[in-house]
Amino acid sequence: MKTVTTAAGIDCRHFINGQYRDSENNKTFINTNPANEEVLGSVAEGGKEEIDLAVAAAKRALNGR
């Protein structure tokens, strides 16, 4: 995951099944403040892989596993 140096210094990863993780495709997007265009940080770009992992983890949690 590429990192962005900002005043806020926020780099967000996915939180799936109790663990922080990068995207399988290693893609991120930059999050900016719309009022002044300041870069706030980067966010992991989720895809099918992350959705499948999150849904499976949620189903296990609902079933108490």
Task: Report pLDDT digits (tens) over 28-62.
Answer: 999 999 999 998 999 999 999 999 999 999 999 99
Higher confidence at residue 11 or residue 14?
A: 14
The whole-number pLDDT of residue 21 equals 93
CA–CA distance, 22 with 26 (Å, rounded to integer): 6
pTM above 0.85, yes or no: no
Beta carbons of 3 and 35 less than 8 angstroms apart: no
The whole-number pLDDT of residue 9 equals 73
The whole-number pLDDT of residue 28 equals 93
